[in-house]
Amino acid sequence: MRRASKTDNVTNHSRRSAGEALASERPCVAARFAESPLLMSGRLFPTALIAALACLAACGDARTPATSATPSCAPLTMQTTADIPAGRVDRGAFLFEPEESVGGAGEVAAFNIDVHEVTNAQYAAFVAATGYVTVAERKGPDGAPLGGAVFDRSQARWRIDSAAQWRRPEGAGSDIRGRERHPVVMVAYEDALAYATWAGRRLPTENEWERAARGDAPAPASREAEAYDGNGAPRANTWQGVFPFKDAGEDGFAGSAPVGCFPAGPHGLHDMAGNVWEWTSDRFTGGERFDAARRDTSPARVIKGGSHLCSRNFCARYRSGSRQPGDESLGMSHIGFRTVADVSEDAAEP
């Protein structure tokens, strides 16, 4: 199941350019590559701040991953999907980033959405039934797998890893044993779309995603209202501490969390803030498109929700009104998805 050569050329260019950029840097100054909106979707670091963080990394334990004990998550007993009634979505007046001026407003028909992100177990069932091969597993011109982008917490940097794929989300030596309930990652846009089609569903539009996240309400006036409670305690899986060097793990996780471990939102949906970014079907327009790892012509889709790599000092896009571009052709260790289906308006009435 190969894509057209034009797409393959873009894909190979993205991986080659990103790999060369990463290989040219020492780990202690890797924060410079984090300027890419694609590879961690955040506000640009001023040069002085990057230098300061690089010095912090050189101190040694500043890059030590969080060691907080992982809390036990209750068994998933909720419904697997939820009906969302028709209505209007309106992001509201509070915009924090340039790209937020696009989308997030309009009428939305009734639909049905997954209560949680698609898990490794669910994706494994799809692959077992169909024999599907993801983009990351397919071979490039050099005969090696195309792989994907992995954020290495021990080195505080991104890398392109040919061994990375959905079964090995951190590359060689990693696996998903014991993580069957974690959201599947390392899935490019077409990999998510293939699963949705197999399941008789589709990927949500950006407006559907936002309506599911907060119903009739506008996006909150605070960046943190959907990721932290009124006392500042985490209610989503994000990064607590100075990204990319220290995750304090105050939410109980360093990396992705099993789905459904955090409180549900207005429609009973889990992890609409944090954990992993989620693909939508909308093409990305608006905001910064520059990225050192790819041409501006690389196709991008809107991703929503933020991830476990979003911190107060970088990204901070764990808000339903936030949005970022995701390179369609690249699987990443912090992007997953959930699916939707059309329903009649009567069926979706509360």
Contact in structure between 332 and 149 (CB atoms under 8 Å) = yes
DSSP string, 67-107: -PPPPPPPP--S-SEEEE--EEEE--S---SGGGGSS-EEE
Which positions ≥6 away from 187 have C-beta within 8 Å?
123, 134, 166, 195, 279, 331, 335, 336, 337
Tokens at residue 33, please?
Answer: 């590559």
Distance of alpha carbon 296 from alpha carbon 274, whole angstroms: 27
Residue 320 falls within a domain, yes or no? yes
* Assigned domain for 72 exists: no
Q: pTM of the prediction? A: 0.80
Taking CA atoms, 33 is separated from 66, 247, 328, in Å, by 22, 19, 20
The answer to whether position 347 is within a domain reads: no
pLDDT (tens digit per residue) in 65-75: 444 445 568 78
Residue 240 maps to which CATH number? 3.90.1580.10
Asked whether residue 268 is assigned to any structural domain, the reply reads yes
Which is nearest to 243 in space by CA: 95, 15, 37, 34?
A: 34
Q: Domain of residue 272: give its range.
A: 5-64+79-342
Residue 73 covered by a domain:
no
Model pLDDT for residues 4-59, shown as the tens digit of each residue: 333 333 334 344 333 333 333 222 223 323 333 344 333 333 333 333 333 333 33
Cα(210)–Cα(304) distance, integer angstroms: 9
Q: Per the structure block, which two tokens stand in for 132?
A: 């599907």
Phi, psi values for residue 29, rounded to 5°: -120, 20
- Confirm whether 349 is domain-assigned: no
Domain count, the chain: 1
pLDDT the model gives residue 90: 87
- pLDDT, averaged per 10 consecutive residues of the chain (350 residues), comes to 35 38 30 36 34 34 42 73 94 81 87 97 98 98 96 94 97 95 98 98 97 90 86 93 93 94 92 97 75 56 96 91 93 98 73
Give domain status of residue 135, yes or no.
yes
Asked if residue 70 belongs to a domain, the reply is: no
